[in-house]
């Protein structure tokens, strides 16, 4: 039964995640670089500032939902609900921030950390 609940949650999240309306895709697929450049060009300075913190605000006019970047796989397990580590071990191993990993241009390091 527990597995069935997990599977149902995954299906619901997957379907909901694909239901976004991204205006830059209406005229056909764009490359990741084109999509990012277009999106950033349409953001105001204030909107850009709200995106550089761990809990980035939603930008409804651009179809961007609120995003919590601390909860990605490298850090999210550390403080997730229902993940106890004990009195003297409050969190899981937390590697470097993903943006720093990208800036290192050390793909061997990135591979090692994510393996």
**Residues in the chain with pLDDT < 70?**
1-28, 69-97
Going from N- to C-terminal start, the domains of the chain cover: 25-69, 72-115
Helix (H, G, I), strand (E, B) or coil at 63: coil
Give the chain's mean pLDDT.
73
Strand-pair partners of 55: 68
Buried b (16+ CB within 10 A) or exposed e, 18-52: eeeeeebeeeeeeeeeeeeeebeeebeeebeebee
Report the pLDDT value the prediction gives residue 60, as an integer from 0 to 100.
94
CA–CA distance from 55 to each of 2, 12, 35, 95 (Å)? Answer: 31, 23, 22, 19
């Amino acid at each position: 039964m527990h597995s069935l609940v997990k599977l149902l949650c995954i299906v619901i999240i997957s379907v909901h995640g694909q239901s976004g309306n991204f205006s830059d895709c209406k005229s056909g697929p764009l490359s990741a670089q084109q999509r990012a450049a277009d999106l950033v060009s349409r953001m105001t300075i204030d909107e850009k500032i709200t995106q550089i913190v761990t809990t980035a605000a939603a930008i409804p006019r651009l179809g961007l939902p609120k995003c919590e970047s601390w909860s990605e796989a490298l850090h999210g397990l550390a403080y997730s609900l229902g993940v106890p580590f004990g009195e003297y071990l409050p969190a899981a191993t937390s590697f470097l921030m993903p943006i720093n990993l990208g800036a290192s241009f050390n793909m061997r390091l990135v591979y090692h950390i994510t393996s």
